[in-house]
Structure 1
Amino acid sequence: MKELIRLYHLLLSYLLRPVLLWVHTTARPDNLKEELKLTGGPVIYVLPKRSIIDYLVLLTTCRKYGLPEPDLGLDFNRHRRAVCLFLEKTTAIKRVRRLRPSHVLLHLVRQVQEQTGEKAQIVPVSPFWGKDPGTEEPSIFKLIFNDDEDAGWLQKFFIVMAQGRNNKLHFAKPFEINEILQSEEDVDNAARKIRRILRIHFRRVRNTVLGQKLYVREQVISRVVAGKLVRQEIEKEGKGRPQLVRSLEIRARGYARELSADQTYSIVRVFELVLGKLWNKLFSGVDAVNVENVTRLASQNYEIVYVPTHRSHLDYLLVNYTVYKSGLPTPHTAAGINLNFFPMGWFLRRAGAFFIRRSFHGNRLYAAVVEEYMHYLLTQGYPISFFPEGGRSRTGRLLPLKTGMLSMVVRSFLRNSERPVALVPVFLSYDKVMEVKSYLTELGGATKKKESIFQLLQARKALQQYYGKAYLSYGEPIILENFLNTNYQGWREADEERPEWLASAVHDLAHLISRHMNEAAVIAPIGLMGVGLLAAWQKALPKEELFIFMQRMITLQRALPYHPNVRLVNDDVADIFQLALKLKSISLFHHAAGDVVFLNDIDGALISYYRNNIIHLFAIPSLIARFFQRDDTIDQDSLVRACAEIYSVLREELYLRWDEDEIEGVVKRYAEAMAGVGLLYKVAPQIYHRPPAQSDDFVALDILSQALGLTFDRFIITAVLLAKHSQLGLVDSDEFLQQCHRMAQRLAILSGLNNPEIVEKTFIQKHIQLLKRKGLLIPVDDKKLRIDERVAVMAQNSQRLLSPDALRSIERIFKTTHQDNKEEEQHGQMEIHGE
């Protein structure tokens, strides 16, 4: 009988082989053979239901990846080392579930028990035909063509015809039958336990890959309007007047309709196909790294909130596309209402975008609708994605995060903490950003153009250019419950919707997300080259010196990585150079004495964007190198103290990962690593010397010392000017800000660096706010600030980092300002005396 069944299956296999010509299969994980780590013993592949086409797809995939090829036989022997087992059988209409294990599973477990020398491994394999999770609305079309887990062989035929080009095969890590037998003496109990493990596994994988069923939009709109927060706001504004209450309900429904997504699988699938071709047209590839950081959470049934950096309009599409291609459900993505224009808005809404107005100010009802909709998504298991920076970064630096939507996520969790929530920072980077030229004009004062169908049509020209690669890296997830338990232990007892500690918690959460974003940085080739060229005098370097610098930075990163999640894209400096030429990011001057690589004014401003993406990775080495500009030799203790003075400022702007009490050990480790790669010479156990002048290591160290551009100078200007003012004890905040701004302008002119970012007042304001928090500036009234005595010590160390030109400029502007103040004071006295 067993042989007859096997012959029947083999006959079906031969009859169905032509169908495989239609099927296109993608296996997960990508590095399949390395991930499975099969021991060489017997292998039992388990499929969730009896399906010959699933078996044929499995067989073909095993051949492709060099895995043991499964047979449909029931016994292991010397020639047959792998078999395929179906967990459930099917009829023509649906799958038949049984509580007891099949006789095939029992037979295999007994065989493994009898053959004590054999360690058989079970490999669960989950096939997916399409990724449509289905909807709550019944449909005959969907019943026939969607991948129904209970589908019989007749329905399966139609599913394969409809979804054959979108087949996924998910392999799980193997486990040994012998381990189950050691804990279960009875074979029947062991077989039941294995069956139970497999059923739970298949259910979990299906939920992970497909996610929740797509909701019916009108039902969700009604649910949002009837939600607790919306009803409270309507009752508060309605003041018991029925007509006004009804008007507010209509308005709330309109807000919900304007806001909510209407995700459909067909549009998601269209986006997958179109974007796949678009990425191939625009980029030479899309690299997604650290994917395991998010797939692990999905398998553990976490509600995932993706929080990506924002570099380009392509970010919306890139995040969703990469998540989908990684085998996870497509998230609902918050998009600005400016993107809701015809026809793009219609497509984005059906791909999962929900549109939010730029400002909620003064419209509490709208804010309640948005928060209630977010709460619905979070509690019903729909992944979410939003850009916490609020807008695209025009400088390439990470912007301070907006806390509005983060606050909604935290408050939703406080309302219902049954489902665990994980925030996943995502770092996005490009070899070339499509909008980077418009960013430069906007930084120069130009008005941002409104998104429209005309801009979309003009974007066709962009398809004719080459943009290198796009990079997406998942950072270390933040488990919201763990974050609250660590920092706000009494959060479970909070009765009110907005407890007093909420603002502080959201602020701390935003800083933690920013740090984790930077910890997931991708060192893209153009950014690395920009670090070197922008640090050079006149933005030009001999080709060999540029190559030496990049190689030293690559070696330093490998010797002491900023974080395990940081990824280096390419370590071949010649390839990096050729890519930069292909992207037209640099210029090359051929000379008999050696080629020179340089940047013109426009290219220098553009490449600074990509440099800024990764500059935080080199902040501490650059700070250390800066102290060796003046001093040949520095002892370790002096170096640590000097770095610690300015680290708090660097940490605030660049969102560096270490706390201030960790900086001593960090500086020591980096100094040792720099000595290990030749950037410093260690002349005694705790004494460092810079390399000999004109040596390759000296050149690399000198470039590294300038790697942060004018960042150091901008900070030091603030400290030195404050020290000058400290003789008076008080400083006018507006006047001081203006002085810092004028000084930054002067340095920008002297350095020849045409970049509006340098004189951006927000960076100076941010630094002044930090000094206030640290108690170095104490507000006296609305305008006056008292200067703490510690500022003089900070300024003394800071002056060691300044160039002589910068010091002379500070002296001049300080004298000029005080001369103007004296003249104004004298003029005022003359008016008082009537002269």
Structure 2
Amino acid sequence: MRFFNYCLNMLTLGVSRLLVRSKILPQNPTEQYELNPNNPTLYIVRLNSRFDLAALAIACKKSGLPSPIEAQVLGNEQLERFIAIKNPAPLFGDKAKPTKALEQGKHVIEQLIKTGHKHVQVVPVTILWGRDPGKEKPGFRTLITHSLTPSWFRKFFVVLFSGRDNFIRFSQPLDLSLLVNEKADVNELPQKLLRVARVHFKRQKLAATGPKMPSREQLFNSLLASPTIKKAIQDEAKTKNISQDEARQNALKLLDEIAANYSEAMIRVAERALTWLWNKLYNGIDIKYTEQIHELTNKGHEIIYMPCHRSHMDYLLLTYSIYHEGLVPPHIAAGINLNFFPAGGIFRRSGAFFIRRSFAGNKLYSAVFKEYLSQLFIKGYSVKFYTEGGRSRTGRLLPPKTGMLAMTLQAMLRGIDRPVSIVPVYIGYEHVMEINTYLKELAGKDKKGESILGIFKAVKNLKNYGRGNLNFGDPISINQYLNDNQADWRDSIHPTDVQKPQWLGPQVAALADQVMVKINNVAALNAVNLLAMILLVNDKQALSKPKLLAQLDFYLQLQRNASYSAKVTAPQDTPEQLLKHALKLNKFDVISDEFGEIIAINDKEKILFNYYRNNILHLFAVPSLIALHIFKSHKTTVTQCQQLVSAFYPLFAKEWFLHELDEHYITRILANFTDQNLIEIAGDEIHITNTNDCLAKLEMLGRSLSFTLQRYAIVIGFIQTSDGIDKAELERESQVLAERLGTLHGIKTPEFFDQKVLVNFIESLRSQGLINECDKGLVGSTALCEIYMHLKTLLPARIWQSITDIVQGQCNNS
């Protein structure tokens, strides 16, 4: 019998090599989980299937792990390595026979106790044939191909139709020592082991495929039957003086406009197309910190992805990356402007649901959308939306729009019984394909609507866009957040009605800011944004190659050893390798003369490079401020540096969504400056080393903050030199002065004159109590006066003179 089974296994293995193509996650399970192929190894799987065994055997061979087909010697016994907790359904009948898993588990536990072997590796392995979630009401195709426990006959069709989409996920080995050390009946331990495995496989299946999908008709009927939408339909009929049927048809049309129509087949097609696209566009996509998402799915969390928004590519890149991590693509909140032929249908079948820019004046639309969103959460779908509301035109994070997040919390107040976590996501590029359009819009040109012609034009212009970065930030458990900040939040739970308690608005705003902070905590440095930081502060945006490489090395060492956040990612390449890579992107000119090479930004790229610098400017804010202070003073103290940073950091934190100031951050920066021979520290005293090289490095780093400090000086200057100024007048005059300063000193950074940036800064001053309102208007506090005096010492005399001359002139005229 054993020989017959062996022959069948070999035959199945041969067939599998022809029909099966597996995606193995993680790509290197041996390294990921520190598995030792020489240690006793067993695999626990969900289904006892020869094809599953064969696919696992091929995957184990690729990963350098022991074969599941071979027996494992443990103590004096030979144990099967392949432990399946469920048998396939019989060809006729419904009830499958129990497997030998309980008996196998018992043998493993007994041998573990007898031998005291602490290094037995019991590895759970999830094996899925295709990633189709299945339908709530099975159809003909489902009967042929989709089943978690198919008979051998149906399994043949499963392998035939889905063999090329086989999915194998290795998980962290089970810690059997915890089971053995429990003071429990030894006979109960195998049963507990299998219970843990069943829960694990259920969660892994849900994470990879999502819940079963209702038909579109089923979904709409269930939504229209909800009390919330029924009431909204009644109100619509009464308000517009139409019949209930007409109002119901209006609601149906809105559902058809909003709802996604997820298709796993479309996802598979899109995956292949996007693989081609990424290879065409990018030299690689670097993805970091995915283990946090898998940890959430292993714990049964529902996930809400909240990325920053740089480009339309974000929709594709994030969904593609999530799918390649073996997770079900999320339902995506997309602007209604993207619902055009043929993109709208493709996006909808890829999981996009469409949202209008405003709900104002349309109570039926608001009710329908909120109920649809609630149903997504209730049924267990992951969701993705952009908290900024739209794409950033400046490269910096925009103030968050809180509408979708508020509706998410309202959905939780329906009593969702699973933990819900937000995953912030940082997305960065070495080239943003819409960047020229952004520049035109910042210059005042109207935004063009998306269209099929725009797609063809984009495809025509496909070229080398360098590398992309996608970093997953630290998750935020909404349940835990509310427990910590709104202890009575559960009192507002109502199973049917949408709730809007008084505490909702403030908590949503605070949570949104926390999401933005966590996005910036995982920012990614790359060749382009680092070179933008260096070259933009130099005359003619050019620098000799040796000086450029030296400054690049300075920044890399600074970010690697004294980073703003432990999860900021920096390239591991040398400065020479980064420069070589960047020059291939056709954004730079290389000018040669008898003294060597000069690297300059292309004329057409100079203004655009501000966008890339803004992606990471927050990472250099504090080092730049300290460098500028040291450069200007030549001699200072650690205490003075700390006081200076303490004065400006609240403004930086509000502008760039920074976390609370780490008390050791300044110390690390100064220590790095010392290590790089820029300064010397004796006790509290700081002395500049006074070499030309060190002065140039500190000056360049300090000038990175120049435009930000000038903008601060403009606004604060108007406040300090007046007895009180009206808020609207302050906004208007600040923008006029910024434009004049730009003309006088050749400042061409679009955001320098951006009214939204100035308005947000003024609001930041107000919210922090640095300005107050009196009868005559806004007046500054004592703390604001101190900041103003700091600005006077930090800014170049010619810039300060221009600002004070214009400010005083305007105030005198008033």
Tell me: CA distance 1:184–1:162, structure 2 relative to 1, closer, same or farther (3 Å): farther
Task: String of CA shifts for 1:33-70, please: whole Å, max 9, x gaps.
Answer: 11232353311122222222222222222222222233
Q: Distance in 2 between matches of 1:389 and 1:322?
A: 21
Q: How does 1:30-45 map to 2 (within 5 A)?
A: 30-39=27-36, 40-45=38-43
SS of 2:357 mapped into structure 1: coil
Query: Is 1:139 equivalent to 2:136 in the alignment?
Result: no
Corresponding residue for residue 348 of structure 2? 349
Q: Does 1:151 align with 2:150?
A: yes
d(CA) in 2 for partners of 1:326, 1:65 = 17
1:413-432 → structure 2 map (5 Å cutoff): 413-432=412-431
- What letter is aligned with 1:32? P
- Match for residue 14 of structure 1? 11
1:492–1:91 CA distance, 2 compared to 1 (3 A): closer
* 1:784 pairs with 2:777: yes
Task: Specify the alignment match of 1:586 in structure 2.
Answer: 588
CA contact (8 A) 2:40 2:72 kept: no
CA gap 1:238/1:321 in 2 versus in 1, 3 angstroms: same
CA displacement at 1:751 relative to structure 2: 4.0
Distance 2:333 2:50 in 1: 42
Does the Cα contact within 8 Å between 2:40 and 2:73 map onto a contact in 1? Answer: no
**Contact conserved, 1:570 with 1:576, CA < 8 A, in 2?**
no
Which residue is equivalent to 2:541?
539
Q: Secondary structure at the match of 2:593?
A: coil
2:84/2:99 contact within 8 Å kept = no
Within 5 A, what are the aligned runs for 1:466-477? 466-477=464-475
Distance in 2 (alpha carbons) for counterparts of 1:605 and 1:580: 17
1:756-792 CA-to-partner distances (Å, cap 9, x unmatched) read 22111111111111222233332346x8323334432
- Which runs of no fewer than 5 residues in structure 2 stay unpaired? none
In the other structure, the counterpart of 2:717 is: 720
Q: TM-score, normalised by structure 2?
A: 0.94
1:738–1:140 CA distance, 2 compared to 1 (3 A): closer
Q: Could you say what secondary structure the match of 2:219 adopts?
A: helix
Question: 1 CA distance for matches of 2:240 and 2:558?
Answer: 70
Give 1:750-789 correspondences, 5 Å limit: 750-780=744-774, 784-789=777-782
**CA gap 1:117/1:621 in 2 versus in 1, 3 angstroms:** closer
- Say whether 1:602 aligns with 2:585: no
Q: Which residue of structure 2 aligns with residue 69 of structure 1?
A: 67
Q: What is aligned with 1:816?
A: 809
Alignment of structure 1 residues 642-661 onto 2, 5 Å:
642-658=644-660
SS in structure 1 at match of 2:721:
helix
The match for 1:483 is 481
Q: Do the aligned partners of residues 625 and 17 (structure 1) sit closer, same or farther apart at CA in structure 2, a change above 3 Å counting?
A: same
Q: Which of 721, 729, 736 matches 2:730? A: 736
Deviation at 1:439, TM superposition (A): 1.0
The runs of 5 or more residues in structure 1 that have no matched partner are: 822-835
Residues 566, 818 of structure 1: alpha-carbon distance in 2 compared, 3 angstrom cutoff: closer
Q: Distance in 2 between matches of 1:511 and 1:420?
A: 21
Tell me the SS of whatever aligns to 2:354.
strand
Q: Partners of 1:77 and 1:502 in 2: how far apart?
A: 60
Cα offset, 1:431, TM superposition = 1.2
**1:135 and 1:213 in contact (8 A); partners too:** yes
Distance across 1 between alignment mates of 2:747 and 2:95: 69
CA shift, 1:673, in A, is: 3.4
TM-score by length of 1: 0.92
Moved more, 182-191 or 600-609: 182-191
- Tell me how far apart the structure 1 counterparts of residues 77 and 101 of structure 2 sit (CA, whole Å): 26
Report how far residue 164 of structure 1 moved. 1.6
User: Closer, same or farther in 2 for the Cα pair 1:79/1:600, shift >3 Å?
Assistant: farther
Read off the aligned partner of 1:740 and give its amino acid letter: S
Hey, what does 2:57 align to over in structure 1?
A: 59
Distance in 2 between the 1:616 and 1:269 partners? 38
Residue pair 2:72, 2:80 contacting (<8 A) in 1 also: no
Aligned to 2:168: 169
CA 1:292 to 1:792, structure 2 compared with 1: closer, same or farther past 3 Å? same
SS class of match (1:565): coil
Cα gap change, 1:645/1:103 in structure 2, threshold over 3 Å: closer, same or farther? closer
**Conservation of the 8 A alpha-carbon contact between 2:12 and 2:51:** no
Cα 1:664–1:196, aligned 2, differ >3 Å: closer, same or farther?
Answer: closer
Corresponding residue for residue 405 of structure 2: 406
2:512 corresponds to which of 510, 513, 516: 510
Q: Distance in 1 between matches of 2:234 and 2:473?
A: 42
State the Cα distance separating 1:602 from its structure 2 match: 2.4
- Specify the SS of the correspondent of 2:326: coil
The separation in 1 between residues aligned to 2:563 and 2:784, in whole angstroms, is 33
* Residue type at the aligned position of 1:799: K
Residues 75 and 115 of structure 2 are in contact (CA less than 8 Å); yes or no, is this contact kept in structure 1?
A: no
> Are 2:285 and 1:286 aligned?
yes
Given the superposition, is the C-alpha separation of residues 810 and 15 from structure 1 closer, same or farther in structure 2, using an over 3 Å criterion? closer
Q: How does 1:190-269 map to 2 (within 5 A)?
A: 190-239=189-238, 243-269=242-268
Say if 1:119 and 1:176, in contact at 8 Å, map to a contact too.
no
Q: Deviation string for 1:463-491 (max 9, x for gaps)?
A: 2x111122111111111111112222222
Amino acid at match of 2:499: E
2-structure distance, mates of 1:698, 1:780: 45
Give the 3-state SS of the residue equivalent to 1:48 in structure 2: strand
Contact 1:721–1:810 (Cα < 8 Å) also in 2: no
Displacement of 1:416 after TM fit? 1.6
**Aligned partners of 1:71 and 1:80 also within 8 Å:** no
SS across alignment from 1:489: coil
Q: 3-state DSSP class of the match of 1:587?
A: strand
**Identity rate of aligned residues, in percent?**
32
Distance 1:636 1:171 in 2: 51
Work out the CA distance in 2 between the residues paired with 1:421 and 1:740.
Answer: 43
CA contact (8 A) 2:520 2:658 kept: yes
Deviations 1:441-461, CA, capped at 9 Å, x for gaps: 111122221111111122221
RMSD: 2.4
Q: Secondary structure at the match of 2:511?
A: helix
2:790: which partner in 1? Answer: 797
Matches of 2:798 and 2:239, distance apart in 1? 70
Alignment-derived partner of residue 526 in structure 1: 528
Whether contact under 8 Å (1:42, 1:82) holds in the other structure is no
Alpha-carbon contact 1:129-1:160 (below 8 Å) kept: yes
Q: Per the alignment, in what secondary structure is the counterpart of residue 149 of structure 2?
A: coil
- Once structures 1 and 2 are overlaid, which stretch shifts more, 512-521 or 441-450? 441-450
> 1:632 is matched with which residue?
634
User: How far does residue 252 in structure 1 lie from its aligned partner after superposition?
Assistant: 1.7
1:555 counterpart (549, 554, 557): 557
* Displacement of 1:113: 4.1
Counterpart residue identity of residue 589, structure 2: S
AA aligned to 1:140 is: F
Provide the C-alpha distance between the structure 1 equivalents of 2:53 and 2:341, rounded to a whole number of angstroms.
Answer: 45
Q: How does 1:671-750 map to 2 (within 5 A)?
A: 671-682=670-681, 684-695=682-693, 697-725=694-722, 729-750=723-744
